[in-house]
Structure 1
Amino acid sequence: MNKSTLYYLFFATLFIGGCSNLKYLPEGEALYVGGSVKVEDTAISKKERKNLEEQLEPLLRPKPNSSFLGLRPKLYFYNLAGEPTKDKGFRYWLRNKVGQPPVLFSQVDLAYNESILQNYAENKGYYKVRTESDSTGKSNNKKVTAEYTVRPGYRYKIKSVTFPSDTTNTLERDIAKLGRRSRLRVGQPYDLDRIKTERERIDTRLKEQGYYYFSPDYLLVQVDSTVGTKEVDLIVKVKEETPAKAKQIYTIDQITIYPNYTLSTNDTTNVFSKAVPEKYKDFTIIDTARTFDPRIYDRTLYFYKGDVYNRTDHNLSLNRLINLGTFKFVKNEFRPSDSIKNALNTTYYLTPLPKKSIRVEVLAKTNSANYTGTELNVNWSNRNTFKGAELLTLTGFGGMEVQVSGQNKGYNVFRFGGEASLVWPRFIGPFKMESGEGFVPKTRALLGFEHQERQRLYTLNTFRGSFGYLWKENARKEHQLNVTEITYVTSGNVTQEYQDQIDGVPAQPDGTPAIPGNQALQRVIDKQLIFGPTYSYTYTNTMQKRKRNTIYYKGSLDLSATIAGLAMGGDKNDPKEILGVPFSQFARMEHEFRHYLKLGKDSQLASRIIAGVGVPYGNSDQMPFIKQFFIGGTNSIRAFRARSIGPGTFYEETPQNSFLPDQSGDLKLELNTEYRAKLFSIVHGAIFVDAGNIWLMNKDDQRPGAEFTGNFYEQLAVGTGAGLRLDLSLLVLRLDLAFPIRKPYLPEGNRWVLDQIQFGDRGWRKENLVFNLAIGYPF
């Protein structure tokens, strides 16, 4: 099929799709396909006209049916389903969930849209705005658009801003002090939204000073447009009808806590009438079961008796109670005190989560190494272990991964293990530390064990333990410091097949070729003892949905046996041992940076850079295997099998029916970028490009080309592909199909393989196409 035929088919599809939608329109109706706004006025600049058009066009109602490349797939599915006979079934789902009814031109109110555009322009300072509208369309295709013309004239600017000047009135005096940081500035264009924002700013600041009953509605900003040519004076006033209590500063009187409150017991007077109140510092606790140690309230609540009310402490107290992870619902009330004038009694109603719970998870997974498997996780939790909101979690897990296809079958993986974790909602240590804002600092202790069996190869037993702290400065910045983290790995059941891969096998008389040895495989089964502090810092503002650019950064530092190595004089030529095991000594650092660029309502460009380096020293001449870097796979470079790239240009030819060893390195560089867009309903699409590689710090004669050099950028693997994401609310199911376009192990000058792409060739597809099924986004 030649290109011309493809073009004809493409445009015929567009035409037929459009016509098939139009034939279902009611008699005499036309399909509304959108509106446009044109700003015409020589009094304002071209840039200003364009900005105003971009602001006005989204205000038009109704919105036309969504389209893609001229097609309206939702409308097509709506018409395809027809009128369902009942309110369920496939046809009902296709019509009402996937489809979208036609937006008819008869639903468009031109005069209403004119008034909306005029009001918006006037609220932005363009007085004496004139608007016009017209419709255009052809009777033969039943499509109509609406065109609006706006002539705004000059924009008024602020000449002066006046705040209250009555210094004898406490409220007005406090408002006047806030004028120094006003968002209303002389010379700025008049903007009603900015005025509303200023009222809210003033209210927020007054709440910090104790004006609990104040509201933005009690503020009036008068506008005087007679003071000059296209200028206005703004006068900030307190409305005369403002109630007296809104003008008063309030303090905190009694603080009452109900730790076992439920919605069914909202009448606290009767339910808790027989309870004996417990006094602890400034708190009155009504807890018949004495569920919690009262000290948790002292660590959590910011208010104390006699404090001036402020909104920050109000919100931080609620946030910290929620972040304890013990309460299902948290609310509080403020009421005027009966005994103290201008004081508030505050009551906290806390509904606990079930103290003990069990959760069972069953997972299914597949990866690019042709492994398919399942995993079972059982988690038991106690959310109030020692009555101080401590969280004890016991986890048991088991799973298997089986190679269902490919030439390297039979090397299945089985694993099981357990973990015990205890989290205290406070710092435990010889010194005092504070966590910022509404976040509770945490201390965490962990013990874990995992047994892994790789059939026909070896088994590994891993023991882990750690003790450390987790705290947040604010919603964007998080720190995690493990004062000590200990990992001990030992192997067993090493098969002769695996040992032969390490030692090498000479050529056999029957003509079987020799297998060269690979000492790098020995490190996988060597005993490993790693201990030392780890630290990570995370910054993110991705929760700010309105920002066009958001970022995520995580940096980590891992130090092993630094003090022990200095004390014992560790030397790689004469390694020191603890309990008969040489301990690892290294420094490892990794940085991950992500950037998200919002391109539209339902589309964005997501990018990521990962850079890491590990340096062995002292007692070690190489990084332990479990602390090295790996690359490739479902969440990495998706066009290559997991852990199959590198290091460097090294490529290990494996005999048929032999296992594929995991490749590891001391340095890592990875770059990813992905365009994401919503297609329809729960279906999202993505197009991506991944690149990267790993390298060794030192030369390895058995892995030529693996060491890091100045031309590392010429050794990057590159892959590309496309995928679908099914957003099921509770989880995102991701399906990616990728293929390599640059293979670093090929001879220099032949590494780009774009000219070899042949989707129609079965052999090429089998060798290059990689399917990834995963849960969640890769980054």
Structure 2
Amino acid sequence: MNKNSILYLLFILLFAGACSGTKNLPEDELLYTGATVKVEGDATPKKERKALKAEFEAIVRPKPNSSFLGFRPKLFVYKIAGTPKKQKGFRYWLKTKVGEAPVYYSKVDLEYNKLVLQNHSENNGYFNTRTAADSTRHGKKAEANYTVIPKRQYRIREIKFPQDSTILSTAVRDTKNRTLLKKEEGYSLTTIKEERLRIDARLKEKGFYYFNPDYLKVQVDSTVADHQVDLIVKVKEETPALSQTQYRINDIIVYPNYSINANSLVAASASFVKHNDMTIIDNENLFKPRIFDRTLYFKKDDLYNRTHHNLSLNRLVNLGTFKFVKNEFKVADTIGNYLDAYYYLTPLPKKSIRVEVLAKTNSANYTGTELNVNWSNRNVFKGAELLTISAFGGLEVQVSGVNNGFNVYRFGTEANLVWPRLITPFHFESSGGFVPKTKATLGYEFQNRTKLYSLQTFKGSFGYLWKENERKEHQFNITEITYASPQNVTPLYQEQINANPSLGKVIEKQLIFGPTYSYTYTNTMEKRRINSFYYKAGLDLAGNIAGLATGANLEKGDTIKVFSVPFSQFVKVENEFRHYLKLGGERQLASRVIAGAGFAYGNSNEMPFIKQFFNGGTNSIRAFRARSIGPGSFDGSTTTNTFLADQSGDLKLEFSTEYRAKIYDIVKGALFVDAGNIWLLKDNPDKPGAKFSKDFLKEFAVGVGAGLRFDFSFLVLRTDLAFPIRKPYLPEGNRWVLDQVSFGNSSWRNENLVFNLAIGYPF
């Protein structure tokens, strides 16, 4: 063994000793390395013993220091950080956030853990279980050893509900069809507790406002048969009379200008308005009473139920007008078995202004900044309407690349008015906890591409937003109008158009109007799910009614213009599906599929440029620059050597899969594969190979890469480094380029490595 090998070995041994955590331990301490649990005995099947072992290992405490291949890097970091002089700074962060304090064996209570294992067994029907506890020492380390010998599990023979005829007992008995207690299943104290909560929740839907799950008991009779039990659900005799009473709603009193000041209610009571079943107490007349008619679910004489209680509160919060929402029910003084409902609402400041300064970058090497100023009025017409007026301005420059010097300047303004109701000629009733909304938008943007052209865009829309529940959301715009007009087209850009006619589409005058609809479904907020989904579908129908009414037909020369501009006529459909699979710990497999199609007809020969599909970039196929892929096998980079076109298409297919895992505290890593392309529906002589065909799968672009995500809670900063392994524009048979990957070759890196910096996850 040579000298270098010996030094290397010594370094490894020293590092291993340091990372093992046993160096510099206090004299009377041992490092705790964890617990082993043995489940023995033949009274329970092998499968049950295996499941019990996993449960037991999860509940013993304390947990040892985290380790990797026998090393304890977090403990090592904790020790090298030393003692910070202040509770801030890098050393303090390193010690408390990255490092991990040593777990000593002196913190282990064998008898307590033994009792925990015993109780867990008994609570799951393994009565008369025997447990034992011991420990094993290895040098400066120690581990705990537990042995559990469970008996045969007791199973449920029968479930009995109250049989008397009182209102409360009858209501409890009526819930039995959905009981969590099932015959032949093992006895479980946890399930019994959940059953009490379930019954209480059902009773809350039937007017029993003051009932509590503690007023229920489940008696266990273990004498009925061999290793079987009967469960008897009963209402406790000491249950108060209030809890046995079904209540209806009496008066509904709303304080829409409530202050924490105790005298505010007394002062406000001097002025009130009666509106249907409600009393509105609003001295300053801030809100129209009809807001609460649409927001509150309860009406006079309604049977109290928890669902309407919570939905009313959700709607008040979702109005976006109130800072605090408080609700209280009191037994009515004037009539028995009735509740008075009180709502105390503290408004947000009516007017506010927000200023934002943003820095941004994209995969086309453009970096820049943007200033946004937003002014809001949260109650502009006293109906909780939200008026937002914003102004923005920004600059984007390309430090290097084909667009160097072609800077982008943009500024504009936008006004949005949102009504907390649907303004329609017909009645629409939403039963969810979310207030349906009507939204109107007007906007203007001026964009100047230095040395090329300017483009001004006017837009407007009017439509509706509503949620069925937290998972399903709809947005329907009766119309969206977009008018785009070019200005200051330079001779340089005109030369580019002469060389590549498709660039002319970017600066064509556009008039787009028509209805749009989108539907979103997601259950990703349900954190316990192993599999969660997100789906969004969009439909865009531009100029269809106008085209039918006017008989527009471009192919026959019957082009119809509005304000001297031909209006666009097309149908566009887009679908996005995401799937998230939890792999345990903080590991996840995230996948996405996007499929879209657009078809122009009637008054249009092709889709407007701003409505077409694109591929590549920070949130698409990350191994390729933004909008640089396709369409089909067409290579857009060959059409010009001074200006790179934005490649667009009528069809789009895109797939992505990303493995995500936590690396260190706020740092998370990802490995990903992206694939897809865009295509045209019609032949374009300027773009050979761009038309969609049966061989479309052979024209997929594929990229792979890795990235880091820095999760700062308030935002996620994402960095991705990717490179292509399949290039669709190469000759067929040569498109896979995995064998050409050469990280040590500077020319390969310059041509293929793409760095993406972005905010948030790609999907």
Band the TM-score falls in, shorter-chain normalisation: over 0.9
Letter in 2 for 1:156: Y
TM-superposed CA distance for 1:298, in Å, is 0.6
After superposing the two structures, state which structure 1 stretch, 707-716 or 290-299, moved more. Answer: 707-716
Paired letter, 1:206: L
Q: Are 2:326 and 1:300 aligned?
A: no
Question: Which whole-Å deviations, capped at 9, do the CAs of 1:158-178 have from their partners, x for residues lacking one?
Answer: 1011111112x1111111121
Distance 1:699 1:62, change over 3 A: same
1:691 maps to which residue?
Answer: 675
Match of 2:153 in 1: 155
> In structure 1, the residue corresponding to 2:97 is in which secondary structure?
helix
Partner of 1:554: 536
1:563 aligns with 2:545: yes
Shift, 1:757, TM fit: 1.8
Partner of 2:597: 613
Deviation at 1:104, TM superposition (A): 1.4
Per-residue Cα deviation, 1:588-629 (whole angstroms, up to 9, x for no partner):
000001111111232211111111111111111211100000
Question: 2: CA distance between counterparts of 1:70 and 1:111?
Answer: 28
- Give the structure 2 partner of residue 94 of structure 1: 94
Secondary structure of 2:21's aligned partner = helix
- Aligned to 2:177, the other structure's residue is in SS state helix
2:663 to 663, 679, 683: 679
- The reply to whether residue 622 of structure 1 matches residue 606 of structure 2 is yes
Distance (Å, rounded) in 2 between the aligned partners of 1:736 and 1:186: 54
Partner of 2:218: 221
Write the mapping of 1:453-472 to structure 2, written as runs, cut at 5 A. Answer: 453-472=448-467
Q: In the alignment, is residue 531 of structure 1 matched against residue 513 of structure 2? A: yes
Which one of the candidate residues 335, 338, 361 is aligned to 1:340? 335
Code of the residue aligned with 1:200 in structure 2: it is L
Rounded Cα–Cα distance in structure 1 between residues aligned with 2:741 and 2:144: 47
Q: Give, in whole Å, the separation in 1 of the partners of 2:122 and 2:20.
A: 43
Mapped partners of 1:760, 1:379: distance in 2: 49
Q: Residues 567-589 of structure 1, C-alpha deviation per residue, up to 9 Å, x if partnerless?
A: 11121222221221111111100
Residue among 256, 259, 269 paired with 1:262: 259
Match of 1:492 among 479, 487, 496: 487
Structure 1 residues 237-246 or 105-114, which shifts more?
A: 105-114
8 A Cα contact 2:505 2:609, kept in partner? yes
* Residue 633 (structure 1) aligns with: 617
Q: Cα RMSD over matched residues?
A: 2.1
Equivalent residues in 2 for 1:495-510 (5 A)?
A: 495-504=490-499
Which digits, 9 at most, give the CA deviation of each residue in 1:360-390, with x for residues without a partner? 1111111111111111111111000100000
- Tell me the SS of whatever aligns to 1:22: coil
Instruction: Map 1:572-721 onto structure 2 (within 5 A).
Output: 572-573=554-555, 574=557, 575-654=559-638, 658-721=642-705
CA distance in 1, matches of 2:263, 2:37: 57
Aligned 8 A contact 2:16 2:71 in 1: no
Give, as a single letter, the amino acid of the residue that structure 2 aligns with 1:724.
Answer: L
Which residue identity does 2:219 align to in structure 1?
Q
Q: 2:177 matched to which residue of 1?
A: 180
Summarize deviations over 1:326-371 as a string: whole Å, max 9, x none: 0011011111111111211111110111111111111111111111
Deviation at 1:269, TM superposition (A): 4.7
Q: Does 1:755 pair with 2:742?
A: no
Amino acid at match of 1:554: K
Bigger mean CA offset, 53-62 vs 696-705: 53-62
Q: Deviations over 1:183-238 (max 9, x none)?
A: 21211211111111111111111111111110100001000111101100000000
User: Residues 457 and 498 of structure 1 are in contact (CA less than 8 Å); yes or no, is this contact kept in structure 2?
Assistant: yes
- 1:69 and 1:551 map into 2 onto residues whose CA distance is 35
For residue 445 of structure 1, what is the amino acid of its counterpart? Answer: A
Q: Match for 1:16: what amino acid?
A: A
Count of equivalent residues: 758
| Counterpart contact for 1:24–1:79, Cα < 8 Å | no
Unaligned runs of 5+ residues in structure 1 are 505-517
CA displacement at 1:759 relative to structure 2: 1.8
Secondary structure class of the residue paired with 2:174: helix
Match for 2:400: what amino acid?
S
When normalised by structure 1's length, the TM-score is: 0.94
Going from structure 1 to structure 2, the CA distance change for 1:60 and 1:633 (only over 3 Å counts) comes to same
Q: Does 1:520 align with 2:518?
A: no
Q: CA deviation at 1:137?
A: 4.7
Deviates more, 1:60-69 or 1:432-441: 60-69
Checking the alignment, whether the CA contact within 8 Å between 2:20 and 2:72 is kept in structure 1 is no
1:423-438 aligned at under 5 Å gives the runs 423-438=418-433
> Alpha-carbon deviations, 1:215-270, whole Å to 9, x = none?
1000010001111011000000000111111101111122111111122x145454
Counterpart of 2:188 in structure 1 is 191
Cα contact 2:78–2:99 (8 A) shared by 1: yes
Distance 1:269 1:427 in 2: 32
1:316 aligns with 2:311: yes
Which SS does the other structure have where 1:593 is aligned? strand
2:415·2:441 contact (CA, 8 Å) conserved in 1? yes
Alpha carbons 2:19, 2:73 under 8 Å: kept:
no
Q: Alpha-carbon deviation of 1:112? A: 1.6
- Range that drifts further, 466-475 or 52-61: 52-61
Q: 1:375 to 1:182 in 2, by over 3 A?
A: same
Given the alignment, which residue of 390, 415, 419 partners 2:414? 419
Q: Match of 1:106?
A: 106
Shift of 1:15: 4.8
Counterpart secondary structure, 1:95: helix
Larger mean Cα displacement after TM superposition, 49-58 or 355-364? 49-58
2:335 maps to a residue whose letter is I
CA contact (8 A) 1:452 1:459 kept: yes
2:129 is matched with which residue? 129
For 1:622 and 1:656, the matched residues in 2 are separated by 23
* Number of the residue aligned with 1:212: 209
Please name the residue that 1:237 is paired with: 234
- Kept in 2: contact 1:408–1:656 (CA 8 A): no
SS at match of 1:132: strand
Q: Secondary structure at the match of 2:637?
A: coil
Q: Identify which range, 277-286 or 688-697, moves more after superposition.
A: 277-286
Q: CA deviation at 1:50?
A: 2.5
The 1-side partners of 2:82 and 2:507 are apart by 64
- Distance (whole Å) between structure 1 residues aligned to residue 428 and residue 73 of structure 2: 57
The residue number in structure 1 matching 2:268 is: 272
- Pick closer, same or farther for the CA change 1:179–1:766 going to 2, 3 Å: same
Helix, strand or coil: the match of 2:721?
A: strand
Q: In the superposition, relative to structure 1, how do residues 735 and 294 fare at CA in structure 2: closer, same or farther (>3 Å)?
A: same
Deviates more, 1:247-256 or 1:72-81: 72-81
Describe the shift of the 1:99–1:715 C-alpha distance in structure 2 as closer, same or farther (beyond 3 A). same
- Distance apart, 1:655 and its partner CA: 8.0
The answer to whether 1:406 aligns with 2:401 is yes
Task: Give per-residue Cα distances to partners, 1:715-735, cap 9 Å, x unaligned.
Answer: 111111111111111111111
Residue 753 of structure 1 and its aligned partner are, at CA, apart by: 1.8
CA distance in 2, matches of 1:624, 1:12: 63
* Aligned-pair CA distance for 1:25: 2.1
Deviates further, 129-138 or 430-439 = 129-138
Q: 1:267–1:390: structure 2 CA closer, same or farther, 3 Å change rule?
A: same
Determine if the alignment matches structure 1 residue 281 to structure 2 residue 283: no
597-606 or 289-298, which deviates more: 597-606
- State the alpha-carbon separation in 2 of the partners of residues 705 and 748 from structure 1: 11
TM-score by length of 2: 0.96
SS at match of 1:291: coil
> Partners in 2 of 1:202 and 1:26 — Cα distance?
54
